[in-house]
Amino acid sequence: MRLILLGPPGAGKGTQAERLSKELRIPHISTGDMFREAVASGSPLGLQAKGFMDAGQLVPDDVTVGIVRERLSRSDCRKGFLLDGFPRTVPQAEALEEILADLSESLDAVISIEVPEDVIVRRLSQRRVCGDCGTIYHLETKPPAPNGKCNVCGGDIFQRADDSEETVRKRLEVYRLQTEPLIRYYEKKGLLRRVSGDSDIETVFEETFRVLERV
C-alpha cells in the first residue's frame, strides 16, 4: 500500500505510522525524523534544515522533495510505503505525484488524523522523547520511569526543541496555512479518509486499520 498520514503536529502521526508500518510491512518514511537525524549528524542537509526547524517553520520545498525522491526510489519502497509529515504543502504534493508517475506508481489513500487544537497544544507541551531509541512519552498518559530514563532502553529523556508552547503555536499556524489545504486537495482526488485522533493510541489505530481495509 502507498499511504500518506496527514494531520497537525501532535495528531499522533508518528506513533500510528510506526504501528501501521509494522502491521502492513511497509517502510515508515518520516521527513521530520530524516531531518532530525541529519541535524544530529551535522551533515550539510542538517545544517540547512536546523534553523527552519528550530523556528517551527518548514524546510524549503526543493530540499524536502529532494530527500523524499531519493528515499522513494530505494528498493524497499517497491511494495509500498507510509509517508508521515510529507507532503506538507501543495507544491510538495504535486512533486510527489511527479515522483510517483516517474516510478509508475500511485497513492492508495491519504489518512487525515483529526484532533482539536487545544488537545494538540496540551499533548505537545507534555511530549518527551528518548534520545537513544526514539520512544515517545507523555508526562500524564505515558510517563517515563521516575528516574527520568527511558523505560525501553534506559536512555535520557528530553523535550524536542520545537515542542515548547511558543513553537508549537507557530507550527500550528504553519499547518493551518500551508498543510491544511492538502485535505481539500486529496478529497477532490477521492483519496482522503478521515480518522478521529482524539482518543487513545489503540482506538485510533483500530479505526485507521478499519478504514484501510475498505481502501
Residues at the site binding ligand AMP, with contacts judged by CB under 6 A: 9, 31-32, 35, 52-53, 56-59, 64, 85-86, 88, 92, 162, 171
Residue 122 among the catalytic residues = no
Shortest distance in whole angstroms from residue 71 CB to ligand AMP: 12
Q: Does residue 170 carry a catalytic annotation?
A: no
Nearer to ligand AMP, 62 or 206 (CB): 62
Is 214 labeled as catalytic in the residue annotation?
no
Catalytic residue among 19, 50, 69, 160: 160
Q: Tell me which of 2, 36, 71, 88 is the catalytic residue.
A: 88
Beta pairing partners, 127: 138
Nearer to ligand AMP, 150 or 182 (CB): 182
CA 74, CA 69: separation in Å to the nearest integer? 9
Nearest-approach distance from CB 20 to ligand AMP, in angstroms? 16
User: Least CB distance from residue 127 to ligand AMP, whole Å?
Assistant: 11
Q: If you ran DSSP here, which 8-state letter would residue 129 be given?
A: E
Nearest to ligand AMP of 51, 148 (CB atom): 51
Whether 86 contacts 176, CB under 8 Å: no
Peptide bond before residue 87 is cis, with ω within 30 degrees of 0:
yes
> 41 or 104: whose CB is closer to ligand AMP?
41
Residues 10/168, Cβ–Cβ less than 8 Å? yes
DSSP secondary structure string for all residues of 13-81: HHHHHHHHHHHHT--EEEHHHHHHHHHHHT-HHHHHHHHHHHTTPPPPHHHHHHHHHHHHTSGGGTT-E
The single-letter code of the amino acid at 210 is R
Annotated active-site residue 160? The verdict is yes
Query: In which residue are the cell numbers 520511569 written?
Result: 145
Instruction: Tell me whether residue 26 or residue 45 sits nearer to ligand AMP (CB atom).
Output: 45
User: How near is the Cβ of 86 to ligand AMP at its closest, in Å?
Assistant: 4
Radius of gyration of the chain measured on its C-alpha atoms:
17
Active-site option among 123, 127, 128, 193 = 127
The CB-of-214 to ligand AMP minimum distance in angstroms stands at: 27
69 tagged catalytic: no
What are the residue numbers of the active site?
13, 88, 127, 160, 171
